[in-house]
Amino acid sequence: MIQYQEEQQQLNLYTENNQLSIGILPSGHVVLLYFGKKITSDSLSYITGEIKRASYLADTDSIKDFKLEQLPFIYPAYGNPDLRTPAFQFTYENGSRISDYRYKTHRIYDGKKKIPGLPSTNTATKLSTLELVLKDEITSNEIMLSISCFDEYDIFTQHVEVFNYSKEKLKINQIMSVNLDFLTDKFDLITLSGAWGRESHIHRNKIRQGYQGIDSKRGASGHGQNPFIALVDPSTNENSGNVYSMNFIYSGNFIANVEVDMHQNTRMQLGINPFDFEWCLSPGEVFYTPEAVLVFSNEGLNGMSQLYHRFYLECLMQSNHARKERPVLINNWEATYFDFNKETILSLAKEASEIGIELFVLDDGWFGERNGDNSSLGDWVPNEKKLGGSLKNLIKDVNKLGLDFGLWLEPEMISRNSNLFKEHPDWIIQVPGRVPQQVRNQLVLDLSRKDVQNFLIETIDSLLKENNITYLKWDMNRNLTDMGSILLESDYQKELGHRYILGLYFILETLLAKHPDVLIESCAGGGGRFDPGMLYYTPQIWTSDNTDAIERLATQEGISLLYPPVSMSCHVSAVPNHQVGRMTTLNTRGIVAQQGNFGYEINLLDATMEDKLQMKLQIEFYKKYRNTFQFGQHYRLNVYDEQNEKAWMKLDAKKVIVSHVYRLAKVNTVPKRLKLQNLEETASYRLEGTKRTFKGDELMEIGIALDKPTHDFYASQWVFTREK
């Protein structure tokens, strides 16, 4: 709900429990009065007037003590006495970089418009949008902040539009999607950081005066940093305390920063990374920023996660599969790597079918001359010699075994050693006169080009039309270097990073419109592009190339902060683990993989009868509770020894599934009890496999007794059925 209070020049944006209040000053500057839990008073315009003045800062508009640098802004400009980091910066044709955008008007309407060319949230019953228009009198250009309130989801989103109404070109040097100013610096900063193989670990630090934050210059959101930041009260934990967070619906270069100024105020921003970015806006043109999601919770990190999970499932993920149960799959990558033929595939599929697997995914190596990672990307023609005939027939044979068929593709890439490269050497990202760098022996197609986009759409469309493929793994295995596009004029070269992402989104959008029933899983060397932009198109994402159950705990915990568990693909793989050599039991590997969207990546042809039987039981168990595993609420549970244990639970109206993992077994220690969360206090919960029944409050206040680990990497699981 959005309320305009004309007399106080205040706009109050409400969701069921939260509030964002904006004030319009007599000067036309627009301030952020409040962001947090809903409060009863609707008049907050006194706040900015009560800020005590600091020394040395300049006055504005020659008004004594009108010090912009002390005010909390909603979208600060460059060129006035607020010398903190602006939310945007433009260069005009005469070389000026000064902007003075002040309130012009606003509109409030029910619903929300799509953002052209970009993924965005939509479809909620109670949804209203504020369009706040700011104008620069000298140039007549306008900026519009579009802020939507998803009432029942307790979520705000924001994107920005820039209108060039002048007669000159406008260069956008920097344009954030969102800016929030707070009048304190008593916060910790939380980010999800890491690298290939150890993506999205939770990092938490106290903030300090100065500039801090994260970004990506990799052409993708990246393994190193997820496009998310949160400021939390120092006392905030999983279950209580304030969290102010932002997540970006974008898959390219981003920046998420926090600046603490000289007077202990904090500015928090999220947007396209201004590094190597510029956008040239001709007269009459509009630029749209990607959308940012703003989540406030006063129920700690678990509270925040609940809001993101439900919102993404119901209002972001567009796939027909988003809210459908996902198949248990087997992927042949770690089972065979490039070394397979028809016989291996069919034997693997047969074994998979016997233990209850539902989908067979043929990974890298099925096309062109690809028997290693040094050729054929771009030549998406089945290698019939290797497949023992046509792809169509192979799929028929797999289908006969009772399995659906999925295929791996890495559409954005091209091998130097490929027919496509021979035909179109100009299609790659490159700077004329320089030899572009290869990574994993591959170059990147210039997705900003229409001809490249059309080639990919046509190629994938015909693969899908000609073959009974129900699933695609859309991979992307290197970052972008040598940023240059042959077709762009020099003034537009810095647009390439963003144009690449717009091209990628266009291809995905077009293919999904043609093949709405294909389930696409995205991947970028594991979780190198695990972001809400990709989630809009692909309702599941390969979480990490690291399949070790113990290493995965930290990554999956980080991903679970924001993304619904059903979007997080997790596979049981072989031991010794291929990345770290660790030995873990099948039980532990299964329990950890069941935290997300469950599958296998293991050579069943090498597995013992005993292991296969155990996997069969594991799959039966997962299928029995699949809905709870995939769509139940996911809570991270507090454990006694945080360094050594992880626990989580899945919960819906009927079932509660609790999982707990020890890293190391320790001699002569006595396990403490594990307390559950969010149960109905007076309801009874029966522990499956026993006759024992517990009350909800009992499980929450006293908890369940943990096993004493008999070996390292010991995991346990409990299922409760709610009786009344």
Least Å from the CB of residue 518 to ligand GLA: 18
Q: Which CB sits closer to ligand GLA, 207 or 523?
A: 523
**What is the three-class DSSP state of 203?**
strand
Strands of the sheet containing 633-636, edge to edge, are 633-636, 645-651, 655-662, 715-722, 684-687, 693-695
Helices vs. strands in the chain: H and E counts, helices first: 15, 36
**Cα 425 off chain centre by:** 33
Out of 411, 526, 565, 632, name the contact with ligand GLA by CB under 6 A. Answer: 526
Least Å from the CB of residue 535 to ligand GLA: 17
Q: Which CB sits closer to ligand GLA, 278 or 545?
A: 545
Q: Which residue sits closest to ligand GLA, CB atoms considered?
A: 364
**What is the three-class DSSP state of 47?**
helix
Question: H helices of 120-210, where?
Answer: none
Please provide residue 453's backbone torsions phi and psi, each rounded to the nearest 5 degrees. Answer: -60, -45
- Please report where in the chains the tokens 């965005």 appear, as a residue: 120
Number of residues this chain uses to bind ligand GLA (CB under 6 A): 11
CB 149 within 8 A of CB 156: yes
CB 270 within 8 A of CB 256: yes
Stretch that binds ligand GLA, among 87-95, 414-422, 520-528, 577-585 (CB under 6 A): 520-528
Count of residues in the chain: 724
Residues 111, 113, 115, 119, CA torsion sign = positive
488, 492, 495, 501 alpha-carbon torsion, rounded to 10°: -30
Q: Which CB sits closer to ligand GLA, 161 or 601?
A: 601
Out of 313, 523, 607, 704, name the contact with ligand GLA by CB under 6 A. Answer: 523
Q: By CB under 6 A, what part of segment 606-645 binds ligand GLA?
A: none
Q: Which CB sits closer to ligand GLA, 336 or 677?
A: 336
Q: Which CB sits closer to ligand GLA, 213 or 528?
A: 528
Mask 381-420, x = binds ligand GLA (CB under 6 A)?
---------------------------x------------
Which residue type is seen at 531?
D
CA–CA dist 192, 182 (Å, integer): 22
Cα first-last separation, the chain:
36
Least Å from the CB of residue 594 to ligand GLA: 19
Least Å from the CB of residue 438 to ligand GLA: 15
CA–CA dist 432, 544 (Å, integer): 35
Please provide residue 394's backbone torsions phi and psi, each rounded to the nearest 5 degrees. Answer: -60, -45
Q: Which CB sits closer to ligand GLA, 188 or 363?
A: 363
Out of 351, 379, 404, 545, name the contact with ligand GLA by CB under 6 A. Answer: 545
Least Å from the CB of residue 561 to ligand GLA: 22
Out of 340, 542, 625, 694, name the contact with ligand GLA by CB under 6 A. Answer: 542
H/E stretch holding 556: helix 549-560
CB 636 within 8 A of CB 676: no
Q: Which CB sits closer to ligand GLA, 545 or 551?
A: 545
CA–CA dist 527, 200 (Å, integer): 8
364 interacts with ligand GLA by CB under 6 A = yes
Q: By CB under 6 A, what part of segment 304-343 binds ligand GLA?
A: 333
Task: List residues with catalytic annotation.
Answer: 475, 545
**Cα 628 off chain centre by:** 22
Q: How many C-alpha atoms does 208 have within 13 Å on its Cβ side?
A: 2
Q: By CB under 6 A, what part of segment 156-185 binds ligand GLA?
A: none
Which residue type is seen at 370?
R
Least Å from the CB of residue 440 to ligand GLA: 8
Least Å from the CB of residue 478 to ligand GLA: 10
Least Å from the CB of residue 569 to ligand GLA: 10
CA–CA dist 80, 82 (Å, integer): 6
Least Å from the CB of residue 684 to ligand GLA: 44
- Please report where in the chains the tokens 């113990």 appear, as a residue: 550
Structure tokens at 624: 């029995």
Residues linked to residue 718 through DSSP beta bridges, in sequence order? 658
In this structure, what DSSP letter does residue 38 have?
A: -
Q: Which CB sits closer to ligand GLA, 90 or 340?
A: 340
Q: By CB under 6 A, what part of segment 34-73 binds ligand GLA?
A: none
Least Å from the CB of residue 334 to ligand GLA: 8
Q: Which CB sits closer to ligand GLA, 293 or 523?
A: 523
**CA distance readout (Å), 46 to 30, 41, 75, 112, 377:** 14, 12, 20, 31, 62
Least Å from the CB of residue 337 to ligand GLA: 8
Query: In sequence order, what DSSP letters do the residues of 219-284 get, joined into one string?
Result: SSS-SSB-SEEEEE-TT--SSSB-EEEEEES--S-EEEEEEE-TTS-EEEEEEE--TT--EEE-TT
CA–CA dist 655, 56 (Å, integer): 61
Q: Which CB sits closer to ligand GLA, 495 or 521?
A: 521
Q: Which CB sits closer to ligand GLA, 12 or 442?
A: 442
Structure tokens at 335: 């089972």
Stretch that binds ligand GLA, among 104-112, 416-424, 523-531, 702-710 (CB under 6 A): 523-531
Stretch that binds ligand GLA, among 56-64, 447-455, 521-529, 588-596 (CB under 6 A): 521-529
CA–CA dist 505, 117 (Å, integer): 7
Mask 452-491, x = binds ligand GLA (CB under 6 A)?
-----------------------x-x--------------
Least Å from the CB of residue 545 to ligand GLA: 5
Least Å from the CB of residue 417 to ligand GLA: 15
Stretch that binds ligand GLA, among 10-18, 60-68, 211-219, 519-527 (CB under 6 A): 519-527
Stretch that binds ligand GLA, among 346-354, 491-499, 522-530, 670-678 (CB under 6 A): 522-530
Q: Which CB sits closer to ligand GLA, 214 or 523?
A: 523
Out of 72, 194, 382, 525, name the contact with ligand GLA by CB under 6 A. Answer: 525
Q: Which CB sits closer to ligand GLA, 142 or 545?
A: 545
Which of 239, 269, 144, 243 has the alpha carbon at shortest distance from 187?
Answer: 243
- Please report where in the chains the tokens 């972008």 appear, as a residue: 480
CA–CA dist 316, 347 (Å, integer): 39
Residues linked to residue 175 through DSSP beta bridges, in sequence order? 88
Which of 631, 633, 636, 632 has the alpha carbon at shortest distance from 647?
Answer: 636
Residues near ligand GLA (CB under 6 A) are 333, 363-364, 408, 475, 477, 523, 525-526, 542, 545
